[in-house]
Chain A
Amino acid sequence: MPAPLNPRLEMVALDAFPVREPVSKRAYTCLRLRTRSGAVGYGECSRLSPVDLAVLRGAVQGKEASSFESIRRGLTASSAGLAGLDMAMLDLVGKFTNAPVYQVLGGPTRNQARALARLEGETDNGVVLAVAQARAAGHRAFLIPVPATHSPNHSATLVNATRQRLDRVRSAAGEGSDFVLDAAGKLTPGDASSLAAALERSHLLWLDEPCRLSNLTAAYRIASENVTPVGFGRFATEAGVFQNLLRNDAIDVVRPDLALHGITQSRRIAAVSEPYYVAVAPFHDGGPIATAAALNLAASLPNFFIQQVPFAADEQDRRMRARLAGDATETVKDGFLQLPRGPGLGISVNEAAFTEYRESEP
């Protein structure tokens, strides 16, 4: 006869709260997972359909919060919410053990986490403004978009426009600033390679998503023709894609999307990268609960380099994020985020914010 379930770990209820930021319109879904004893764990995922939620609810019934692996393997189709469920389950395990998740996972491996502010901006002026604002908020590393030239296969235009943008943001950001250039998978491989070659001496942290991932040969050529580091990941829904990139010498920074891979699968992706001496910089374009998850992940990894966080340019969006998970989680000082200290994910989630910022049904 199987041992009875521990009521402090036995999962009995899973609820989803879709929220939306008032200005940026960035949307994400907060998950709340409850145990029989009434303990609560939180996670975050991208938009979750009612069918996916029902699948996850079925999967957690009669299981303990520590059993993520058996739940993951038990699901035949990948569920959009699995990454968020992983966070919520680990939150509960941490609360049960009275330890931060990074301690549960073998950390801490560091005492803080370098932050990468993801900035928006159509024009150079817009990007420069965003960089200045993020710098004032404590950031030192910036993910900025490659300028859109609307003339593919005309790399001279692209290189010139990019150089101009980099020069302008560098002088706006000042000493000790670093940049990741985000091509967002939109360049042709030839343009990406020309750009990477032209920027070899610019000492970018890396060039992100230089081309689409569907053509591995093209990705390999970009990485072999020059020494500019390249990052890939936000379009890699299948974790095994990273191994393929690594063994083909096509990647310098692995960028698993937290909303796709959660903590546990991201740890596996990091483990695969380690024997290639490749650093991990998780992609994250969601809310503050996932930021807390990211910080716990960062402090459990040996090869973590930097954590992307969405930079909320508007005060209203910043207030919402702080209302959801507290001020401290996303506060950046001298380019670094501080680790949460409390058990689980280490944040106090304010459920009133779920209602305040509830996303209306589409």
Chain B
Amino acid sequence: MNRRDFLAGAGGTVAAGKLAGSPTRRQSLSFCDCALQPQAAVPPGAGALASVGSKVRITNLKTFGVTIPGAPPDRPYVFVKLETNEGLIGWGEGTLEGKAGAVLACINDFREFVVGADPIAVEHHWQSMYVHSFYRAGPVIGSAISAIDQALWDVRGKILGVPVYKLLGGPNDPEGVRGYYVANARTLDELKRLRETAQAQGITAFKGGLPNYYEWIETNEKITEAIRHVETLREGLGPDIDIAVDFHAKTSPTVASVIIKELEPLHLLWVEEPCPPENVWAMARIARRVNTPIATGERLVASYGVRELVEKAAVDIIQTDANHVGGITALWKVAALANFSSISMVPHACEGPIGMLASLHVDASIPNFLIQECCGQAVPQVRDKVWEEWFGFPVMRMVNGKYPLPDKPGLGFELTEDALKKYPFAGSRPMARVFHKDGSVAEW
């Protein structure tokens, strides 16, 4: 089947095929006076790579906004479903907090990169989506690429008949992937109860946060309160449970340094995002002045986005998110970059279940993996019930401190559109907008 025949017979995808062009009706790119014109616009999967690719073709791309109860309202899930001429299905996720509408639109902007294409060549499509976006990817484009990339990996795994982690050389540990939950306890009593729960379930690590919003210089009162808060975490959870503390970029390098210096005796597993992410040098300044491991990266896109962090040895842990960094392809590459500089990987994941399951495949196969987030709690929440209803198994629920790995091909789950219909898209909602007492803008 040549490409033209294939598209002609593919019903709803004809329009996309027309836009993408064909060798005989090549799309003209001479709309500008650019000095260097591209030599040819070859649609992915067609033409040049056809003879060395697979026979599978993507026939449709569908996007889904999904709003479930019990999840933060700023992050309705953004899912993408790829359908193929072989009947194989691929699911991916590009949930981006506060920007669901933008990512849904951006995924659709990539439609002609995908429909008609051969799903086996994920790297090729990743490069095309990234490079041919010209301006390079920020979080919206990064999340859209992530969704499509995960879905391509899902299809690829199914074509090749193995779980994705096996395509990546894993698993490192057949029992699964080490994880941690949120320490949803503040008082000493609550924390002590959480410790008992953790010991009963085999949970080995928790993450907490800071109790306030901070200006770029802070008062004695707020700094002292922050230190006491983390000291209470350690006191309640005891010496043998690992504790990470997410500063969530609420602090400046200045304030973070003051606080972390005093937390050193607590031997935290890491301090996360001690300052906002734009200035690598500022992040490095904190890392140079304290001994506690520093983690960052959830807001970064592609290996290009972390290069400077790695080069400057600014941090100990990188936390790119499979839903934003550019999917499995980019998360694996970031891990490679980090590995050569002895930096550990703790992939961020605080959105929907598909991105988290996709993360597990990378986690299970990289040498510098430390632990995987899921933003769940020791006691299952509403979202966990919805996820189990969708997938038919407990999603991101640890057994003896580890998330079990799937053994089905691809990302390792079945999901139907019908399952999602119960939770229609309630629209984009902004992330929390928080302010200091004087009305000025605060980081949260």
Q: CB within 8 Å of B: which residues of A? A: 108-114, 141, 176-178, 200-201, 203, 205-206, 224, 226-229, 247, 249, 252-253, 275-279, 281, 302-306, 336
Contacts and interface: CB of A to CB of B under 8 A. Distances in A.
A252 B215 contact: no
A113 B279 CA distance: 27
B281 A279 contact: no
Interface in B351-376: none
B440 A302 contact: yes
B276 A224 contact: no
Interface residues of B, number: 32
Contacts of A302: 440-441
Contact of B438 (A249, A277, A336): A336
Interface string B262-299: 10000000000001101101100100111000000000
B436 interface: yes
Given A227-B261, A275-B278, A277-B279, A110 B436 contact: yes
A276 B279 contact: yes
Contacts of A176: 219, 221
Contacts of B261: 200, 227
A302 B438 CA distance: 12
B254 interface: yes
B438 A305 contact: no
B248 to A, nearest CB: 14
A279 B282 contact: no
B146 interface: no
B215 A305 contact: yes
A141 to B, nearest CB: 8
A112 to B, nearest CB: 5
Contacts of B253: 252, 276-277
A106 B158 CA distance: 55
B215 A279 contact: yes
A229 B289 contact: no
A336 B221 CA distance: 16
Query: What 4 A-B pairs come out closest when comparing CB atoms?
Result: A279-B216, A203-B220, A227-B257, A110-B438
Contacts of A227: 257-258, 260-261, 289-290
A208 to B, nearest CB: 12
A229 B217 contact: yes
B336 interface: no
A206 B275 contact: no
Nearest to B216: A279
Interface of B: 215-221, 223-224, 252-254, 257-258, 260-262, 275-276, 278-279, 281-282, 285, 288-290, 436, 438-441
A227 B264 CA distance: 13
Contacts of B289: 224, 226-227
Contact of A112 (B217, B257, B438): B438
Contacts of B439: 108-111
Contacts of B215: 279, 305
B269 to A, nearest CB: 21
B281 A252 contact: no
A278 B278 CA distance: 13
A109 B439 CA distance: 7
A306 B276 contact: no
A112 B439 CA distance: 8
Contacts of A226: 289
Nearest to A252: B254
Nearest to A170: B220
A253 B253 CA distance: 11
A178 B219 contact: yes
16 contacts: A109-B439, A110-B436, A110-B439, A110-B440, A203-B223, A206-B217, A227-B289, A228-B258, A229-B254, A276-B279, A277-B254, A277-B282, A278-B254, A279-B217, A302-B441, A305-B215
Nearest to A109: B440
A203 B258 contact: yes
Given A203-B223, A278-B216, A249 B281 contact: yes
Contact of A200 (B216, B258, B276): B258
B282 A276 contact: yes
B289 to A, nearest CB: 6
B88 to A, nearest CB: 47
Contacts of A305: 215-217
